[in-house]
């Protein structure tokens, strides 16, 4: 029994010794890195845990390149983040070959030979499109686009329906598609939009790129699947049956005179208020609500403006008023 225990201890010591002798590989997958192509056609790689830490990197065309033959260097982006930088000239030199990334920190190898993939790389233009979402096609929030009188359960009701009014460009046509939540992937799109609205500005570049990629991919896929309807009078009405708290995802497409297309998306929350009027003949309407716009200062990322479209239902209860008036007359 003692011999078995001794052998186990020796085996464990041997395993630990081998682990200590191996290079410390903290980051082993492309999932822990985000690559973006800049407008200058440079490639920048952000490593999740190394953005605030100095490190050296080398790119080779073979996994077997000797340590002394690796050309290590360091780089920072314009905001002082420590990054892997592949200039346009360097990319043209290594393009079409296998490329492997090695990273050293404090003289220790922490990334050893991760293969780089330059196919379908996310770009700063893609990122800018995400940041402009909900603002590419200008709209106004209108509360009284249509009004109509109805009688519901013996009560006369004035229904004022709001919606989006497009600030139309000359010689452009507009189309829309509206989806009520919950609805599978649209829920995810709304969750990502909310996250961008609350977390994006304060996030590091790795997280910004990661979040932007998720949103852009889903937003683009859904845009391709829309069943577009033509917008009449540049107005998109909120559904008449909308209830307080109902949420909608509204895709809008603009086609200009040269057939260039711009697609945008709006996130809307309905507001519906049923109220009894106290004063005969007077209709009181509710104030339009718009969710708080986060401040845009300096070089801060432009945030989403989540709109709240209101359906106002001002109920004038004539029956009740008549009773009140009759009671006063009886005195």
Which domains, and CATH codes, for the chain?
Answer: 2-120 (2.60.40), 126-330 (no CATH)
The average pLDDT across 82-111 equals: 95
| Torsion, Cα of 131, 134, 136, 138 (10° steps) | -140
Between 159 and 20, the more confident residue is: 159
What is the greatest pairwise CA distance in the chain?
A: 108
pLDDT given for residue 244 in this prediction: 76
Contact between 24 and 110 under an 8 Å Cβ cutoff? The reply is yes
- Percentage of the chain with pLDDT > 70? 71
* Mean pLDDT of all residues belonging to the chain: 78
Q: Which range is least confidently modeled, 36-45, 136-145, 190-199, 229-238?
A: 136-145
For residue 162 the two structure tokens come to 């709001």
The average pLDDT across 253-267 equals: 95
pLDDT by residue (tens digit) across 149-198?
777 677 777 777 778 899 999 999 999 999 999 998 999 999 999 999 88
């Amino acid at each position: 029994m003692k011999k078995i225990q001794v052998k186990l201890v020796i085996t464990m010591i041997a395993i630990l010794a081998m682990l200590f002798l191996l290079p410390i590989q903290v980051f082993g997958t492309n999932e822990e890195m985000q690559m973006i192509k800049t407008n200058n056609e440079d490639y920048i790689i952000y490593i999740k845990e190394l953005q605030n830490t100095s490190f050296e990197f080398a790119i080779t065309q073979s996994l077997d390149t000797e340590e002394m033959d690796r050309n290590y260097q360091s780089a920072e982006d314009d905001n002082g983040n420590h990054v892997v930088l592949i200039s346009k000239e360097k990319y043209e030199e290594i393009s079409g070959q296998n490329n492997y990334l090695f990273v050293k920190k404090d003289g220790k190898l922490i990334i050893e030979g991760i293969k780089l993939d330059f196919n379908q790389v996310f770009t700063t233009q893609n990122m800018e499109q995400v940041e402009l979402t909900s603002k590419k096609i200008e709209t106004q929030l209108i509360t009284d686009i249509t009004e109509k009188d109805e009688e519901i359960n013996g009560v006369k009701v004035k229904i004022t329906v709001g919606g989006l009014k497009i600030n139309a460009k000359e010689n452009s046509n507009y189309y829309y598609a509206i989806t009520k939540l919950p609805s599978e992937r649209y829920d995810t799109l709304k969750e990502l939009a909310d996250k961008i609205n609350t977390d994006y500005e304060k996030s590091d570049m790795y997280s910004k790129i990661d979040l932007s990629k998720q949103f852009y991919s889903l937003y683009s896929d859904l845009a391709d699947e829309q069943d577009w309807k033509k917008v009449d009078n540049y107005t998109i009405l909120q559904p008449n049956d909308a209830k307080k708290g109902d949420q909608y995802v509204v895709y809008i497409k603009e086609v200009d005179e040269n057939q260039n297309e711009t697609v945008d998306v709006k996130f809307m929350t309905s507001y519906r208020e049923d109220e009894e009027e106290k004063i005969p003949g007077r209709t009181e309407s509710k104030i339009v609500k718009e969710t708080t716009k986060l401040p845009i200062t300096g070089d801060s990322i432009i945030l989403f403006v989540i709109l709240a479209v209101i359906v106002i239902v001002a109920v004038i209860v004539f029956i009740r008023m008549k009773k009140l008036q009759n009671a006063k007359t009886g005195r």
